[in-house]
Amino acid sequence: MNLVVLSPNWLGDAVMALPALADVRRHFADARLTVAARASVASLFAMVPGVDAVLTLPGRGGLAALRTWRQDVTALADGAFDVALLFPNSWASAFVVHRAGIAERWGLATDFRTRLLTRSAPRPRGAAHQAGYYQALVSALGLENGPAYARVQVPAGVANPVTARPYAVLAPGAAYGSAKQWPPEKFAELAVLLARDGQTVVLVGSRADAATCRTIGRGASGVSGDTLVDMSGRTTLAELAAVLAGASVVVSNDSGAMHLAGAVGAPVVAVFGATNERRTSPLVNGPGAVPPRILSTDAWCRPCMLRECPIDHRCMTGVSAEDVASAAAAVLR
């Protein structure tokens, strides 16, 4: 069997889909398993055990798919796949595998796409965590669920660009919106506390996070030079995985970096505000991993799931740097 799995488009969602992907791998042990993914997350699956090939979809997600779907159809048709399993819920994902001529098309019966699928499953109800949502899909298709571990292995040829030891990683970004972000001044306070405890502080993020990381660096009074390293916008996804894997602790918002950190086995401290930690807390990569430490407040308005806070961001400002430093100290390795 030549099987293709369509990945979610966001890094965090892609990591949370890994337990379900592992279920697929175990069930179809003799199949050739390809993961088709957008360029932003495709390199993740080159680091996932059991994936035979990665197909980078050339089209675009969201509304841009209306202009670029033919590119995805061509790429999928060239793969000569027998079966397509869709983790995305979108109508567009079902449409492109249908137009690509893939005979078997499996996914959730969502977004008015049932007629485009050959096997469909009802939307899971009661799945507490997003990983469980993806595993409920494969279970409904007759595949046995294994443990909810997300395993990512840094490729042997990828060097960790951070040479200082020991070091703590701070990941202050969150692509979803500022409501998910612990304030930069809090990260700056934390950087000072971690440096006092002998940790080099490493800031990571995308190019979009570079300004936030510079603000943190300027605000971390007395932490400079070799004690604070800003890697924002300077790593590939594989290099970011290497940086996270080597960290004493990773402190993050609810973000893709948080999920990747858990998947490479790093101790994680996560600050949750607008989003629901019961649904998107980071997974660990195996039975011996350190459980993540989750910090949040009892603000009446959380989890609101908004991109921007319409009031005073109390769900995040109520978490102190001292609280996070204490949680980090408890899991430092």
Task: Split the chain (333 residues) into runs of 10 and give each run's mean pLDDT.
Answer: 97 98 98 97 98 93 74 96 96 95 97 95 86 96 97 96 96 90 97 96 96 95 89 97 98 97 98 96 96 97 95 96 97 90
Give the long-range contacts of residues 64-73, CB within 8 A, separation 24 or more.
Answer: 65/92, 69/95, 69/96, 69/99, 72/96, 72/100, 73/99, 73/100
- Residues pairing with 2 in the sheet: 32
Contact 297, 318 (CB under 8 A): yes
Contact 28, 3 (CB under 8 A): yes
The confidence score (pLDDT) of residue 20 equals 98
Domains located in the chain, CATH noted:
2-140 (3.40.50.2000), 167-331 (3.40.50.2000)
Q: H-type helices in the chain, by residue range?
A: 11-16, 18-27, 39-45, 65-78, 91-99, 130-140, 184-196, 210-219, 237-245, 256-263, 277-280, 314-317, 321-331
d(Cα 255, Cα 87) in Å, to the nearest integer?
Answer: 19
d(Cα 160, Cα 157) in Å, to the nearest integer?
Answer: 10
The confidence score (pLDDT) of residue 149 equals 98
Contact 235, 161 (CB under 8 A): yes
The confidence score (pLDDT) of residue 270 equals 98
d(Cα 172, Cα 149) in Å, to the nearest integer?
Answer: 24
- Residues pairing with 86 in the sheet: 6
The confidence score (pLDDT) of residue 174 equals 83
d(Cα 102, Cα 291) in Å, to the nearest integer?
Answer: 40
d(Cα 279, Cα 66) in Å, to the nearest integer?
Answer: 30
**At which residue do the structure tokens 């459980």 appear?**
291
User: Interior CA angle at 217 toward 216 and 219, to 5°?
Assistant: 65
Q: Does residue 88 have a cis bond before it (omega within 30 degrees)?
A: no
Q: What are phi and psi of 119, to 5 degrees?
A: -135, 125
Q: What are the E-state strand segments in 231-312?
A: 249-253, 268-271, 293-295
The confidence score (pLDDT) of residue 63 equals 67
DSSP reduced 3-state for 14: helix
Please give the structure tokens belonging to residue 219: 């605000």
User: How close are the terminal C-alpha atoms of the chain, in Å?
Assistant: 43
Where b means 16+ CB within 10 Å and e means fewer, 234-259 reads ebebbbbbbbbbbbbbbbbbbbbbbb
Cβ-based neighbour number of residue 208 at 10 Å: 11
